[in-house]
Every structure is written in structure tokens, then in C-alpha cells.
């Protein structure tokens, strides 16, 4: 497994382009299962999670080929409704394939999904919603079997929590259901809007994506489409954190700044200056970072839980006290133990962590415990004095396309060995 070697405290400089969003690409690849004809999906990042989604499509009999950042997907020859345990365990978003296979074939068999350990991550909202749409679902020893005796039917679904994955599963399933589906308390993340945009290009009738209420009029068939995946807002937050802790001036291109509405103010609070223009962020860190204050993660448009770990890395070396309240996931502080090895000053209990900025972090040997946490360790390594060695255990590659090369292109000293 790859390790990253970082020589800390080097200033970054230059320009980078933002990769496409992992969290948009995954549900869109699942949604291709609903379509007849070829799909051309541009700006797909090269990531191990995307490779898993491609493997699932191929296992089901579909053709999926990559040409750089473009994926050509044709699902006409789909000939299976079972996704094996080995593929399902590779990532949590594999559960999105449930709604898609069910809508296309009237039955599906999957095992419970895997993914990063961020506390219990049930799929009850996904299953309850599909049941409301007429699916009969049984669970045996970690396997989920679903079929639709009368086909999927539109339903009114009020989500108890605006789950991103459940909202995506419902939108996908409802696109080919009979009648109208209305989701209230739907997730509003930009990735939901991207999924709806793609499906509407395929002939679906989805309105209200990005608002709390999404209405889907089911249609009989969908065709393939050409689609461009949105840029990855979490990678943007990670790169800005990297620039912030090294006192750097960088430019990030191909950004949709509207997606960073809750993220940009946190950097400004820390004393960073951002000039945002036409898909480009000119980012300047101050000589000395200030605490960003209170970071409370909530569903979009609030502060994203995925950006909490890199912002915590920033707060380690920011003057003053930063308070983190993680409301989305129960257990998302695995990076704290590693930060402490570096000389950070953090107290945490349950969902709250309090960071007192220190004047210096020390390069250390670290081990990643999840995807965004591993990116946060990279940020902390860039901030630290001396060498940091990170055993990423494959997590980083799930969501960041060659982060070592991206940071090296900005003059950072980050090497994969």
C-alpha cells in the first residue's frame, strides 16, 4: 500500500484545476442503468471508488470504458440483478445501485454496503422509501433482496433526515416509476442537482432538485446523454486548507464558487483573502492564521461534514480556539489521534472537538482511518516542521486524484512511495 512522504512548511504556489466530483459521478454512473443508448460522462475523476462503480456496471453486463476523464457507458446489455458482496463492500455508495437496478429490472439483490467507518451508517431511509414506492424488500444476514410485484409507483416521501444517498436512490428509482413522487426534506447538495440535471438530459422529469422538495414525474423510458460532472467542492476545501497552513498564494481553476458558500467564510474568518471570479479562486493565506471560530457541520447549504477534517488540520496551527461540532456523522474524528502525535492541542468528547492552535506541529508517522481524514493528515503534514510519513491505506485514492502530484505541481514536497 502506498505511503506519502511530506516535507512540511514549504510554501505552495501556482495554479491547479479542480477534479470532477466523486460524489456526483457515483450516483450518475448508477443512474446510467436506467437509460437505453450510450452515455458520455465527462470530467470523471480517476479514483478507486469510481473504478468500483465501473466494475459494478461491468459485472451487471454493461459496457463502461474510460478515455482519460471521459467515461462511455452503455447499459443496453444489462443481464444481472445481483451485485456481489465483494463489490458492495468496497464503498457505501454502492447502495445507490439498488434503486437503479430495481427500477430497470423489477428486482435486485445486493449485500449491505461498506465504505469509510464514520459510525453506524444505516440504509433504513433508502429501504423505507423504496418500500413506499411499492418495493418488497427483505433483509437476511446482510443481504438485501428487493422486487416490485406491480412495478415501482410514485409516492410521497418525507425523509426524517435529508440523507444524500437516500435522496439520490429515490430520484433514480422514481424517474422510471409510474406516477409522481414527491420528496420532502430532500438533501439539497449540489451533487443532487447534478444527478437531476443528468437524468433530465436523459428525458426524466425532475424539478426542485437543490430545494427541500423534489418532484419526479415518472417516465416510461430514458435515453443516454452527454454530461459534464461538476467540480469537487471538497477537494477545493482541501487545497485551500493546504495553502492556508503553508502561508501560500495559489489559484484554483474550474471551481463553482456557489457550491462553497459555507466553506469560503470559514477561510475568511481565518484571515485568508479569496478573490472569486469566473470559475477561479485566487487564494492568499495570511502570515498568521486565526481560528475560524465555530465549525458546525450540517447538511447543505451548511458547512459540509466532508470538509471538517481538512479545516481541523488548519485550526491546529491557527491562533486561538476553534470549536467543531459534527452533527452529520456520529464518529468522524479519527484524525484527532494522529494530530495529537504531531503535537496538536485538541480535546474531544462525542461530537464536539475543541482545538487550541499551537505554534508548531512536528512531522510524524501517521496512519489514515478514513478518506477525508487522510486528506486532513496531508494538510497537517504540509504544516508540520520536518518529515511526515502517512500510511494512507488506500483511503486517499478513493476520493483524491493524485493529490501528491497536484501538491507537487504547486511546489509542495509530497511524494508517494
Judged by the rule CB under 6 A, the positions of this chain that interact with ligand UD1 are 23, 26, 92-93, 121-126, 161, 163-166, 191, 304-306, 328-329
Closest CA to 92 of 401, 395, 403, 400: 395
Query: Are 357 and 385 a contacting pair, CB within 8 Å?
Result: no
DSSP state of 165: H
Comparing CB distances to ligand UD1, the nearer of 165 and 224 is 165
Comparing CB distances to ligand UD1, the nearer of 23 and 246 is 23
182 forms beta bridges with 156, 215
Reduced to 3 states (helix: H, G, I; strand: E, B; else coil), residue 138 is: strand
Comparing CB distances to ligand UD1, the nearer of 44 and 289 is 44
Query: Exposure of 77 by Cβ count < 10 A (0-12 exposed, 13-18 middle, 19+ buried)?
Result: exposed
Omega of the bond leading into 301 within 30 degrees of 0 (cis): yes
Closest CA to 415 of 384, 389, 395: 389
**Residue 152: C-alpha distances to residues 127, 166, 171 (Å):** 13, 16, 12
SS (H, E, C) 259-311: HHCCCHHHHHHCCCEEEEECCEEEEECCCCCECCCEEEECCCCCECHHHHHHH
Comparing CB distances to ligand UD1, the nearer of 74 and 401 is 401
Backbone angles phi, psi at 30, to 5 degrees: -65, -40
Question: Strand 13-17 vs strand 249-253: parallel, antiparallel, or unpaired?
Answer: parallel
Comparing CB distances to ligand UD1, the nearer of 161 and 288 is 161
318: left (phi over 0), alpha (psi -120 to 50) or beta: beta
Reduced to 3 states (helix: H, G, I; strand: E, B; else coil), residue 9 is: coil
Query: Given the C-alpha cell 479569496, which residue does it identify?
Result: 274
Positions marked catalytic: 116
Query: Given the C-alpha cell 503535537, which residue does it identify?
Result: 343
Q: Distance between CA 271 and CA 268 in Å, rounded?
A: 5
Query: Are 380 and 314 a contacting pair, CB within 8 Å?
Result: no
Query: Are 177 and 154 a contacting pair, CB within 8 Å?
Result: yes
Q: Distance between CA 74 and CA 400 in Å, rounded?
A: 26
Backbone angles phi, psi at 223, to 5 degrees: -105, 170
Count H helices and E strands in the chain, helices first. Answer: 14, 25
Amino acid at each position: 500500500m502506498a505511503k506519502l512522504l511530506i516535507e512540511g512548511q514549504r510554501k505552495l504556489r501556482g495554479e491547479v484545476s479542480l477534479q470532477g466530483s466523486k460524489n456526483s459521478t457515483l450516483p450518475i454512473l448508477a443512474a446510467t442503468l436506467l437509460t437505453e443508448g450510450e452515455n458520455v460522462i465527462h470530467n470523471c475523476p480517476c479514483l478507486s471508488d469510481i473504478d468500483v462503480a465501473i466494475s459494478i456496471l461491468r459485472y451487471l453486463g454493461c459496457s463502461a470504458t474510460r478515455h482519460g476523464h471521459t467515461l462511455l457507458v452503455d447499459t443496453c446489455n444489462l443481464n444481472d440483478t445481483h451485485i456481489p458482496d465483494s463489490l458492495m463492500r468496497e464503498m457505501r455508495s454502492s447502495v445507490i445501485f439498488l434503486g437503479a437496478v430495481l427500477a430497470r429490472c423489477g428486482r435486485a439483490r445486493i449485500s449491505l454496503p461498506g465504505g469509510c467507518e464514520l459510525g453506524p451508517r444505516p440504509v433504513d431511509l433508502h429501504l423505507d422509501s423504496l418500500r413506499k414506492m411499492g418495493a418488497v424488500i427483505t433483509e437476511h444476514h446482510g443481504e438485501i433482496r428487493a422486487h416490485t410485484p406491480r412495478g415501482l409507483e410514485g409516492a410521497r416521501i418525507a425523509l426524517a433526515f435529508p440523507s444524500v444517498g437516500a435522496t439520490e436512490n429515490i430520484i433514480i428509482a422514481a424517474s422510471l416509476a409510474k406516477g409522481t413522487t414527491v420528496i420532502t426534506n430532500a438533501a439539497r447538495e449540489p451533487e443532487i442537482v447534478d444527478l437531476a440535471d443528468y437524468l433530465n438530459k436523459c428525458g426524466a422529469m425532475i424539478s426542485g432538485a437543490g430545494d427541500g422538495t423534489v418532484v419526479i414525474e415518472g417516465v416510461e423510458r430514458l435515453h443516454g446523454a452527454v454530461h459534464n460532472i461538476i467540480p469537487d467542492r471538497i477537494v477545493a476545501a482541501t487545497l485551500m486548507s493546504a495553502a492556508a497552513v503553508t502561508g501560500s498564494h495559489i489559484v484554483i481553476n474550474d471551481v463553482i464558487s456557489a457550491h462553497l458558500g459555507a466553506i469560503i467564510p470559514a477561510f475568511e474568518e481565518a484571515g485568508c483573502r479569496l478573490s472569486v471570479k469566473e470559475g477561479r479562486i485566487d487564494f492568499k493565506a495570511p502570515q498568521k492564521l486565526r481560528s475560524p471560530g465555530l465549525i458546525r457541520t450540517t447538511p447543505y447549504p451548511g458547512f459540509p461534514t466532508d470538509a471538517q477534517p481538512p479545516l481541523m488540520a488548519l485550526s491546529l496551527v491557527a491562533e486561538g480556539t476553534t470549536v467543531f461540532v459534527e452533527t452529520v456523522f456520529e464518529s468522524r474524528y479519527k484524525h484527532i489521534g494522529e494530530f495529537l502525535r504531531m503535537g496538536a492541542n485538541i480535546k474531544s468528547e462525542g461530537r464536539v472537538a475543541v482545538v487550541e492552535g499551537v505554534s508548531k506541529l512536528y512531522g510524524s508517522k501517521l496512519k489514515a482511518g478514513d478518506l477525508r481524514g487522510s486528506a486532513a493528515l496531508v494538510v497537517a503534514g504540509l504544516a508540520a516542521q520536518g518529515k511526515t510519513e502517512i500510511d494512507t491505506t488506500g483511503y486517499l485514492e478513493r476520493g483524491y486524484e493524485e493529490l501528491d502530484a497536484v501538491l507537487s505541481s504547486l511546489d509542495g514536497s509530497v511524494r508517494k512511495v
